[in-house]
């Protein structure tokens, strides 16, 4: 876990690190919260040509600092947008292949990058009925994914209780074989590290550690046997510029607290 | 739920689809909904929710409704809590991300008093679209391999006869009644919708009957001046009810944003004892007021003005 | 054929007689020319609640007298319309079951009400390549049809050279068996008579003769053995009111000449 | 014509879809079209035909194009007559009902110098829609049993796995390039289309590349003020060319009606000797002018003013 004296919160870390994964010119399907912050941060810092899509039906909005939307389905999401579409049509952009990256969170993730946002416990007798997939299943079925999630053992599990949003299913070619011939997990970003997936087995693998974090720490906070790449790099700490842009976007610290 | 095509056509043919006034009260419009019906709700999450119509249906003590909606917010709690519905089909069900998981949804589903049938967002949209197009299914490349699909019975997989690709077929959904709230429409039901459209156009075309609530009834002349702005044609509409602030405390694009304070209060009320919380809320806001303006008075003029100021600001660009 | 001294043209006769077949409140998918005139006439005379649809994407227009559109796809069609839709969506109203009657012409029609507007002669080596189906095939596949056509032997043929718009195909249940489970030919209106179709065999049958026309005349102008109903009635001649509305709509006699 | 899904995605992925200016000349835009391409044309009959772009493609002497359009008018004659295209896919092909059957179409097809591949109007629309949705086919209940369907190779029939209904499947159509003329768009390609939309929205989404011609380029600020009026998103667009009267002598909704006298003259010219008539027309209007304003000058200011007066009248209600 982050030590107390770091000059940024875990959420700020997630936003900065995942924002850096986006490339200029990409079209990014983002949920509200950290994904939206990360994509907007990327726009301001290095990717002015990044286009954000919201599942409520918004294409290419300018998010107004301090007026972050509470859902993807309200008018705040549409401010200075290039276009509004129906929900079904904006999601169909994924199926047509117009989206480069999907960007979301999740309650649980497993070794193969499957996400659960439906049930904690068995679906028949859950201990918690979660809110459900929303567009998550569609996004992860149809495009390359970045997941931003806090690194905790209860979240990083051997097998998710329920596959809401498919990652690589049970690894190897199982995702492709089930009919999901495009997309797949690209990166998982946490407050400890950045993970990718083994090219063959599709098992989760640490690609980079955040400054001051050890591989041991990552293992301790992961509920399955996570691969550690041989050439694990170390990320650069969030810069002052990044943090100040983030804090300008979310002055009330609704999402970055 | 996959309706026989000839039955669907016969139901449509039996409706009076002529250019005639359909203006009526909320109370009268509730008679269009039959016990046991499947009702589709327009808007999404806390936006353009036809809350006035839902309010009237709850007061009319309907029974055994099933409901579908793109994303379900507080209206889902109230539908469960009032007992008029015990089956909701949607992709996401909670008040909204900032308020956390709905305790009422949890309470009702975890005790199995009600069912939350989960579909992916797009697949539900495609079900309405297939219904709107008069075809029995729509093919899609999503949802395969997931437990979301595994839990659903009414799906088929095929190998594409053109390409060999594996495809999932989702069945058409033709709701018995669709409830849609719009900024304006004429007395015949020609509706304009500003801003986000959500799934409402497909809903109107798919449904067997449509009840429109509207902030404002305008003249047919105004509609005919810009026919390319009409989003729902009168043909599909069976009732038009003028209800200002008909989505309050949710948002209506360009007119008012959510009544945030009221939404916070609701979340607080249902946090610790969701069953009693929702019951209290229903008593106070749904059963006790004698009409819609009284309901709005309880929300309070101050919140109305605040929500309206924020709502109008979207055009100040 | 119409005798010379009648106070109305063959096209006026077609427009009046087919307009009378429409009922108030119906939704009518109409082509330009006689179908449009007939539907508009019906609106003005007995069916103010009739809604006209054009395949260009217009729902419920008011046609302005003297400004009749030359095609269903131009702005003149949209005057004071209730709604404009895309072409595909307006045609899908037929498939969804929102249209009561389709209303069109055709170059050839046969015993079972099949229409040809594609080829005269064989499709491989036609003597004339006609303009094609447009929306005709969709309309006749998906709804009940009224056809307005001049009664000539070369048009009323045993078997059309090409089934552009399906009627009852080869009669009996063949239309239904091929997958067209709704719609079908309802009436054929000519300058001589009004035809329906035998309930069992689906063969064309004279239902009513226009004033002064004999069954013999109809047979002589029909290229197949047409059924004559036992209780053939006689239509009422176009009234002055009907003719004056028509001539007001088309003062330049573009379509009613 | 049914494109492999992964190839389609790869082609889309390879395009620069960022928010960047795409403004260029007609001549430059012709470079986007490759010999052998399948080109979809927006508008319908004599409405919003992207004639300036077609004019430029004919002048650029493209080869071996195939073309699809909802309904084809005089531009089909010119595409055949110029030799840049010998295969047109459409539901109806002639100048317009009032001018009778196109003699040029007859001449070219009856002598088998060119092919007119006939689909029903809706089925062609559904092919574009399937292409726009990223699915390989769309089911429909029309066209079965007819010779229109019998003449086509690329169709499949299935029994619906939900209802047992017989259904026809029409294959997705993803054109290499779509040409679309609009009233206004910004430099990035966000387009507003007034009045009749025809099949243009599906076309833009289905195509691998899109060339927009526009009466007027407006600022991105203006687009962002009413994002619910954007009909084609910049993402799909590869070229933006400002061409006033870019559909003349056809119509552009709300701006000008068809140049009727010119259309009558064209019909006369091609009536008796269609091959020579169309060749003469091409010489005079397509090859001889050195630029688009010169072409318009040949149509004549008087006809421009008349068409404009009639065009604007649609809003005088």
Q: What is the CATH number of the domain that holds B80?
A: 3.40.1080.10
Strand D166-171 to D156-159 pairing: antiparallel
Pick from A122-136, A243-257, C159-173: least confident: A243-257
Chain D residues in contact with C118 by the CB 8 A cut-off are 118, 147-148
Question: Are residues B238 and B98 part of one domain?
Answer: yes
B227/C182 CB distance under 8 A: no
Chain B residues in contact with C25 by the CB 8 A cut-off are 16-18
* Closest chain A residue to B260, measured at CA: A70
Cis omega before residue B171 (within 30°)? no
Q: Show the CA angle centred on residue B158, arms to residues B157 and B161, nearest 5°.
A: 165
What confidence category does residue C71 fall into, taking pLDDT thresholds of 50, 70 and 90? confident
Per-residue pLDDT at C66: 87
* CA separation for the pair B201, B207 (Å, rounded): 10
Question: Are residues B156 and B25 part of one domain?
Answer: no
Q: Which of residues 270-299 of D touch B (CB under 8 A)?
A: none
SS (H, E, C) D169-221: EEECCCCCEEEEEECEECCCCCEECCCCCCCHHHHHHHCCEEEEEECCECCHH
Question: Are residues B161 and B63 part of one domain?
Answer: no
D142, D196, D311 member nearest C73 (Cβ)? D196
Total domains in chain B come to 2
Tens digit of pLDDT for each residue in D39-80?
999 999 999 999 999 999 999 999 999 999 999 999 999 999
ipTM over 0.95? The verdict is yes
Total domains in chain C come to 1
User: Is some CB atom of chain B closer than 8 A to the CB atom of D149?
Assistant: no
DSSP helix, strand, coil percent of chain D (3-state; round to 5): 40, 20, 40
Q: What is the CATH number of the domain that holds A15?
A: 3.40.1080.10
Please, what's the largest Cα pairwise distance for chain B?
60
Pick from B232-241, C56-65, D128-137: least confident: C56-65
- How many Cβ pairs within 8 Å bridge chains A and B? 190
Say yes or no to pLDDT of C137 above 80. Answer: yes
* Closest chain B residue to A69, measured at CA: B98
A82, A85, A182 member nearest D190 (Cβ)? A82
User: Is some CB atom of chain B closer than 8 A to the CB atom of C200?
Assistant: no
* CA separation for the pair B263, A70 (Å, rounded): 12
B162/D2 CB distance under 8 A: yes
B132/C50 CB distance under 8 A: no
**Alpha-helical runs (H) found in B68-140:** 74-82, 103-110, 121-133
What confidence category does residue C1 fall into, taking pLDDT thresholds of 50, 70 and 90? very low
Say yes or no to pLDDT of A2 above 70. Answer: no
Give the CA-trace dihedral at B78, B81, B86, B87, to 10 degrees.
Answer: 30
What confidence category does residue A6 fall into, taking pLDDT thresholds of 50, 70 and 90? confident
Per-residue pLDDT at A1: 44
Per-residue pLDDT at D261: 97
Tens digit of pLDDT for each residue in A47-85?
999 999 999 999 999 888 888 887 889 999 999 999 999
Chain B residues in contact with A92 by the CB 8 A cut-off are 122
Half-sphere CA count of B294, side-chain side, radius 13 A: 9
* CA C55, chain centre distance (Å): 15
Tens digit of pLDDT for each residue in A156-202?
999 999 999 999 999 999 999 999 999 999 999 999 999 999 999 99
In a domain, D11, yes or no: no
D202/C86 CB distance under 8 A: yes
User: Is some CB atom of chain D closer than 8 A to the CB atom of C123?
Assistant: yes
Q: Which tokens in the block code for residue D90?
A: 């459409």
User: Is some CB atom of chain D closer than 8 A to the CB atom of A59?
Assistant: yes
Q: Are D8 and B162 in contact (CB under 8 A)?
A: no
Question: Are residues B166 and B182 part of one domain?
Answer: no
Provide block-wise average pLDDT over 10 residues at a time, chain B (317 residues): 90 95 98 98 98 98 98 98 98 93 98 98 98 98 97 96 97 98 98 98 98 98 97 98 98 98 98 97 98 98 98 92
Per-residue pLDDT at C230: 85
Query: Of all helices (H) and strands (E), which one includes residue C137?
Result: helix C136-142
User: What residues contact residue C204 under an 8 Å CB cut-off, 6+ apart?
Assistant: C111, C112, C113, C188, C195, C196, C197, C198, C224, C226, C227
B139, B195, B196 member nearest D135 (Cβ)? B139
Domain that holds residue A55: 10-249
| Angstroms from A146 CA to nearest CA on chain D | 17
Q: Are A83 and D233 in contact (CB under 8 A)?
A: yes
Q: Are B197 and B230 in contact (CB under 8 A)?
A: no
User: What residues contact residue B265 under an 8 Å CB cut-off, 6+ apart?
Assistant: none
User: Is some CB atom of chain C closer than 8 A to the CB atom of D192?
Assistant: no
* CA separation for the pair D174, D206 (Å, rounded): 5
User: Is some CB atom of chain B closer than 8 A to the CB atom of C62?
Assistant: yes
Q: Which of residues 202-241 of D touch B (CB under 8 A)?
A: 224-225, 228
Chain A residues in contact with B168 by the CB 8 A cut-off are 179
Nearest to D270 by CA among D286, D281, D254: D281
Q: Are D66 and D297 in contact (CB under 8 A)?
A: no
A73/B110 CB distance under 8 A: no
Sign of the Cα torsion B95, B100, B101, B104 reads negative
Per-residue pLDDT at A63: 82
Say yes or no to pLDDT of D244 above 60. Answer: yes
Q: What are phi and psi of A44, to 5 degrees?
A: -80, -30
Say yes or no to pLDDT of A206 above 80. Answer: yes
Tens digit of pLDDT for each residue in C159-191?
999 999 999 999 999 999 999 999 999 999 999
Nearest to C187 by CA among C149, C154, C232, C214: C149
Q: Are A53 and A59 in contact (CB under 8 A)?
A: yes
Catalytic one of C4, C5, C12, C55: C55
Say yes or no to pLDDT of C72 above 90. Answer: no
What confidence category does residue C2 fall into, taking pLDDT thresholds of 50, 70 and 90? very low
User: Is some CB atom of chain A closer than 8 A to the CB atom of B158?
Assistant: no
**What is the secondary structure of C70-123 as a DSSP string?**
SSTTSGGGGTT-SEE--HHHHHHHHHHT--SEEEE--SEEETT--EE-SEEE-S
Nearest to B64 by CA among B30, B42, B87: B87
Domain that holds residue D95: 21-122+173-316
* Closest chain D residue to A47, measured at CA: D18
What confidence category does residue D303 fall into, taking pLDDT thresholds of 50, 70 and 90? very high
**What is the secondary structure of A27-54 as a DSSP string?**
EEEE-TTHHHHHHHHHHHHT-TT-EEEE
Q: Which tokens in the block code for residue B304?
A: 């109305």
* CA separation for the pair D198, D46 (Å, rounded): 12
In a domain, A90, yes or no: yes
Per-residue pLDDT at B1: 57
Chain B residues in contact with A180 by the CB 8 A cut-off are 141, 144-145
Instruction: Find the mean pLDDT for residues A141-167.
Output: 97
DSSP strands (E only) in B137-208: 137-140, 156-159, 166-171, 177-185, 191-192
Tens digit of pLDDT for each residue in D173-217?
999 999 999 999 999 999 999 999 999 999 999 999 999 999 999
Instruction: Find the mean pLDDT for residues C15-38.
Output: 94
In a domain, A1, yes or no: no
Q: Are D239 and D22 in contact (CB under 8 A)?
A: yes
Q: Which tokens in the block code for residue B186?
A: 């004429």
Interface test with B, best of D9, D156, D160 (most B CBs within 10 A): D160
pTM, to two decimals: 0.98
Nearest to D146 by CA among D157, D137, D135, D138: D157
Question: Are residues B118 and B226 part of one domain?
Answer: yes
Which of helix, strand or coil describes residue A26?
A: coil
* Closest chain B residue to C98, measured at CA: B12
Half-sphere CA count of D279, side-chain side, radius 13 A: 7
In a domain, D132, yes or no: no
User: Is some CB atom of chain D closer than 8 A to the CB atom of C142?
Assistant: yes
Question: Are residues B291 and B150 part of one domain?
Answer: no
Say yes or no to pLDDT of C218 above 80. Answer: yes
Query: Of all helices (H) and strands (E), which one includes residue D279?
Result: helix D274-281
User: What residues contact residue A199 under an 8 Å CB cut-off, 6+ apart?
Assistant: none
From residue A33, how far is each of A45, A90, A167, A249, D212 by CA, in Å? 18, 19, 21, 11, 36
Question: Are residues B143 and B90 part of one domain?
Answer: no
User: Is some CB atom of chain C closer than 8 A to the CB atom of B13?
Assistant: yes
Question: Are residues B158 and B256 part of one domain?
Answer: no
Question: Are residues D231 and D154 part of one domain?
Answer: no
A and C interact (at least 3 Cβ pairs within 8 A): no
Per-residue pLDDT at C69: 83
* CA D131, chain centre distance (Å): 16
User: Is some CB atom of chain A closer than 8 A to the CB atom of D5?
Assistant: yes
Nearest to A235 by CA among A213, A215, A217: A213
Question: Are residues B213 and B92 part of one domain?
Answer: yes
In a domain, B132, yes or no: no
User: What residues contact residue B28 under an 8 Å CB cut-off, 6+ apart?
Assistant: B239
On average, the pLDDT of chain D sits at 97
Q: Show the CA angle centred on residue D9, arms to residues B161 and D239, nearest 5°.
A: 125
Question: Are residues B259 and B221 part of one domain?
Answer: yes
Per-residue pLDDT at A70: 77
Nearest to C195 by CA among C231, C236, C150, C229: C229
User: Is some CB atom of chain A closer than 8 A to the CB atom of B264?
Assistant: no
């Amino acid at each position: 876990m982050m030590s107390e004296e770091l000059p940024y919160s875990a959420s700020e870390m997630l936003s900065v690190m995942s924002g850096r994964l986006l490339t200029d010119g990409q079209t990014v399907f983002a949920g509200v919260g950290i994904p939206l912050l990360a994509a907007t941060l990327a726009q301001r810092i290095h990717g002015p040509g990044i286009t954000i899509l919201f599942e409520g039906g918004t294409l290419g909005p300018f998010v107004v600092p301090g007026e972050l939307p509470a859902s993807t389905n309200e008018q705040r999401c549409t401010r200075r947008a290039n276009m509004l579409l129906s929900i079904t049509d904006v999601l169909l952009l994924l199926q047509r292949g117009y989206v480069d990256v999907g960007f979301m969170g999740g309650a649980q993730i497993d070794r193969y990058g499957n996400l659960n946002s439906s049930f904690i416990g068995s679906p028949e007798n859950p201990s918690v009925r979660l809110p459900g997939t929303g567009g998550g299943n569609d996004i992860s079925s149809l495009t390359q994914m970045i997941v931003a999630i806090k690194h905790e053992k209860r979240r990083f599990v051997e097998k998710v209780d329920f596959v809401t949003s498919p990652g690589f299913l049970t690894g190897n070619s199982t995702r492709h074989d089930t009919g999901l011939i495009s997309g797949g997990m690209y990166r998982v970003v946490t407050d400890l590290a950045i993970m990718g997936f083994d090219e063959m087995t599709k098992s989760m693998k640490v690609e980079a550690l955040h400054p001051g974090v050890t591989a041991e720490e990552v293992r301790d906070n992961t509920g399955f046997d996570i691969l550690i790449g041989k050439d694990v790099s170390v990320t650069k700490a969030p810069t002052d510029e990044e943090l100040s842009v983030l804090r300008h976007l979310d002055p009330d610290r609704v999402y970055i607290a | 739920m996959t309706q026989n095509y000839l039955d669907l056509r016969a139901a449509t043919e039996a409706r009076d689809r002529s250019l005639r006034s359909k203006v009526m009260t909320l109370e009268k419009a509730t008679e269009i909904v039959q016990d046991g019906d499947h009702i589709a709700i327009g808007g999404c999450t806390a936006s353009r929710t036809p809350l006035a119509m839902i309010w009237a249906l709850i007061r009319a003590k309907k029974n055994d409704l099933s409901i579908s909606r793109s994303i379900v917010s507080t209206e889902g709690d109230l539908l469960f809590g009032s007992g008029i519905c015990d089956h909701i089909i949607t992709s996401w069900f909670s008040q909204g991300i900032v308020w956390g998981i709905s305790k009422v949804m949890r309470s009702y589903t975890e005790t199995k008093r009600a069912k939350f049938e989960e579909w992916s967002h797009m697949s539900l949209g495609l079900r309405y679209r297939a219904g709107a197009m008069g075809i029995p299914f729509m093919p899609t490349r999503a949802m395969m391999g997931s437990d979301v699909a595994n839990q659903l019975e009414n799906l088929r997989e095929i190998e594409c006869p053109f390409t060999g690709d594996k495809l999932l077929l989702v069945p058409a959904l033709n709701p018995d009644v669709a409830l849609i709230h719009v900024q304006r429409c004429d007395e015949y039901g020609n509706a304009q919708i500003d801003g986000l459209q959500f799934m409402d156009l497909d809903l109107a075309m798919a449904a067997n009957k449509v009840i429109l609530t509207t902030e404002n009834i305008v003249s047919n002349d105004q509609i005919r001046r810009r026919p390319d702005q009409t989003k729902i044609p009168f043909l599909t509409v069976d009732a038009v009810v003028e209800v200002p602030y008909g989505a309050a405390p949710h948002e209506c694009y360009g007119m008012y944003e959510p009544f945030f304070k009221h939404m916070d209060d609701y979340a607080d009320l249902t946090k610790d004892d969701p069953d009693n919380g929702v019951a209290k809320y229903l008593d106070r806001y749904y059963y006790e007021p004698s009409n819609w303006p009284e309901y709005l008075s309880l929300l309070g003029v101050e919140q109305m003005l605040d929500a309206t100021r924020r709502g109008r600001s979207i055009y100040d660009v």
